[in-house]
């Protein structure tokens, strides 16, 4: 749990970037050169990493389970629904992916929201992100709810690698999505092994909400044209979903993510208990978070392009922002 400290004051973007630069550059100057090489990383992993075989087994087993559940839902619910509602053949192939992901992200975001804001002994990481590191120690105990969230998410992204290759409809950014899955899988698995699970919960919280909006929008894109007719309800829900998607992407991924998570990660070495010593994996973990943020900006450019085309009248309706057959 976070300590009872003063309420966190959200900095400006400029102050955030300045503090991040100062903290990271100071860490680099004061660290030994061998810390940043493969040997130094491997030594830290041996000393501080903790990912027992039983957890590997849980992740692998759940990944297989997600694949089986998705296959069962696809064959018995999603595909029959597509045929019953008279979607086009192409949309019948796309719909199961989005429907399955929508259900998954609603469940995981509900859990992280409950943990951070609703339950009686909630975690106060969102309100006090700098307190994330105060009680950090190697191999520290992971509360059961965080453990469950981590195992579920880690296994889902392992399944997603398989899903992108063999189950999903191929899209313009599928290669980028593969990179995203591997990056997310690395972040989740590594942060669990290093016991950076508290900040990991925040990362998942700010990202899952936009995925809900995205998959909701895509489901309605596929549902709005049925039997050769445009259904107004799904058309309106598509527009509303896309606006929420764009808004939550900016607020959660481009505002809260840097100002709460990137800044907290950069200041982590100052925040941990002095008796623990320097925080291991500092540069590596910060690098992974910044790569994730670059991807967030990359995908936001797709959103801006869509909004621009709609504003200019070059598009009359919202379509799948990841679709390969969208006209440039």
- The pLDDT of residue 33 is 63
Per-residue pLDDT band for 277 (boundaries 50, 70, 90) equals low
pTM: 0.88
Residue matched to tokens 């696809």: 74
Mean pLDDT for the stretch of residues 153-176: 85
Under the phi-then-psi rule, with left for phi > 0, alpha for psi from -120 to 50, and beta for the rest, what region is 227? left
Mean pLDDT of the chain: 86
Q: Summarize pLDDT for 307-321 with one digit per residue, the tens.
A: 877 776 666 566 655
CA–CA distance from 177 to each of 210, 286, 317 (Å)?
A: 15, 21, 24
By residue count, the chain amounts to 328
Check: CB of residue 272 under 8 Å from CB of residue 194: no
Which segments of the chain does DSSP mark as H helices, in order?
A: 13-30, 38-48, 53-73, 79-84, 89-113, 144-166, 174-193, 197-224, 232-248, 263-266, 268-271, 282-311
- Give me the percent of the chain exceeding a pLDDT of 90: 50
- The pLDDT of residue 3 is 42
Under the phi-then-psi rule, with left for phi > 0, alpha for psi from -120 to 50, and beta for the rest, what region is 228? left
**1 pLDDT more than 50:** no
- The pLDDT of residue 6 is 52
């Amino acid at each position: 749990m976070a300590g009872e400290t003063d309420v966190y004051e959200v900095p400006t973007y400029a102050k955030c970037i300045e503090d991040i630069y100062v903290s990271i550059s100071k860490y680099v100057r004061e660290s030994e050169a061998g810390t940043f090489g493969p040997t130094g990383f491997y030594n830290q992993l041996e000393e501080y990493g903790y990912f027992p075989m039983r957890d590997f087994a849980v992740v692998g087993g759940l990944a297989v389970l997600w694949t089986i559940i998705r296959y069962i839902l696809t064959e018995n619910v999603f595909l029959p629904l597509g045929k019953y509602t008279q979607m086009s053949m192409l949309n019948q192939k796309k719909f199961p992916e989005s429907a399955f992901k929508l259900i998954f992200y609603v469940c995981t975001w509900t859990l992280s929201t409950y943990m951070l804001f609703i339950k009686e002994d909630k975690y106060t990481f969102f309100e006090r992100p700098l307190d994330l590191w105060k009680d950090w120690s190697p191999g520290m105990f992971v509360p059961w709810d965080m453990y469950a969230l981590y195992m579920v998410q880690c296994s889902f992204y392992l399944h997603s690698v398989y899903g992108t290759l063999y189950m999903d409809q191929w899209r313009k950014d599928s290669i980028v999505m593969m990179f995203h899955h591997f990056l997310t899988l690395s972040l989740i698995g590594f942060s669990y092994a290093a016991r950076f699970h508290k900040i990991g919960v925040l990362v998942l919280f700010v990202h899952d909400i936009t995925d809900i909006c995205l998959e909701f929008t895509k489901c309605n894109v596929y549902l709005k044209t049925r039997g050769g007719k445009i259904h107004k309800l799904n058309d309106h829900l598509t527009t509303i979903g896309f606006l929420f998607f764009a808004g939550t992407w900016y607020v959660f991924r481009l505002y809260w993510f840097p100002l709460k998570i990137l800044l907290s990660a950069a200041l982590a070495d100052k925040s941990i208990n002095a008796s623990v010593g320097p925080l291991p994996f500092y540069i590596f973990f910060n690098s992974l978070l910044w790569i994730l943020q670059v991807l967030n900006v990359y995908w936001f450019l797709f959103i801006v392009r869509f909004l621009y085309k709609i504003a200019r009248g070059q598009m009359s309706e919202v379509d799948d922002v990841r679709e390969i057959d969208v006209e440039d």
